[in-house]
Structure 1
């Protein structure tokens, strides 16, 4: 089973929202051999999900998030992950500093989405043996942005309902761009 870890700062708003949205999208796409988890790089265990994230998931018909509680990013979990997706560049840096061997498997969500949208879902999957992180590494230079800040998804917790809606649109677009690559890799690895 492949493990995807989604990380943000507090693991109460962005990363749990993406965790459940990505898991749901993969499930609806027929990919059931992935475990999607979320963590915070600066959190304590046991905090509930931010009410706007929880309500948005419920409104989308996504279940399972009701009993969610925050989890800190532990070296063991990060080391075991096949792919780590962060909300901001500093989260990526924090993870690589904690667990240097994650360097080849950690991307911001928006960076991964941008790369995935440029990937050749046949050739890249064949060359990498269906390893999502390897495809992302292979195509990373093809998708460099002139504005690195564009790779960040700002934290909407202190904002209003519109700030959270803007976050969700950005996150949902990134998930939609990434899912075809994960599906292709799961299919290619199974072939």
Structure 2
């Protein structure tokens, strides 16, 4: 696994911070042969990254991309692993690029080490996909399906990293801290798999 793509919404906050922080972590861990990039499912190419995201990266001695990139087939093809910031980014990516389903995860999901939670997450993803298909075909969603999804979602911790967009520097620092904790686990996992 030599190429990792981080994905968020606009590629101006979370995924650029993940890209920049991960580069620093990889360099420190002696894993500099691993390449990282980032993109957004709704990015406007060329938009500068958020000032707060750039400030957080600078405070950490890291640097990310200077402008946003739209998620594309070529980026998905380039990546060995696609790590999204939220479950909705994951679903969106898989809807656009279904052939990549086996390499798309949320960042938190990929680094978790709770097998029981992984089974529940897989069930949630299956149920959500079935419900979306039913809705697209104008078929009714059963109360049992709704109840099971809600039940599972309450049992499983969120795999979403909150979007600091438009928030304070403190919100960006908090998001970056959450991302960095996951990236440290990711680097350890990458090192163990060598």
> TM-score, with normalisation over the residues of structure 2?
0.76
Q: Distance between the aligned counterparts of 1:11 and 1:154, measured in 2?
A: 14
Change (3 A) 1:36 1:159: same
Matched, 1:161 2:159: no
- For the aligned residue pairs, the C-alpha RMSD in angstroms reads 2.3
Structure 2: gaps spanning 5 or more residues: 123-152
Counterpart position of 2:90: 92
Counterpart position of 1:174: 182
Counterpart position of 1:73: 71
Counterpart position of 1:37: 37
Q: Distance between the aligned counterparts of 1:3 and 1:68, measured in 2?
A: 19
Contact residue 120 and residue 156 of structure 2 kept, 8 A: no
Structure 1: gaps spanning 5 or more residues: 120-138
Determine which of 150, 160, 163 is the counterpart of 2:158: 150
Give the total of aligned pairs. 163
Counterpart position of 1:109: 107
Counterpart position of 2:119: 141
Q: Distance between the aligned counterparts of 2:8 and 2:34, measured in 1?
A: 20
Q: Which has the larger radius of gyration?
A: 2
Q: How far off its partner does 1:80 sit?
A: 2.7
Counterpart position of 2:143: none
> TM-score, with normalisation over the residues of structure 1?
0.77
Contact residue 46 and residue 68 of structure 2 kept, 8 A: yes
Q: How far off its partner does 1:140 sit?
A: 4.0
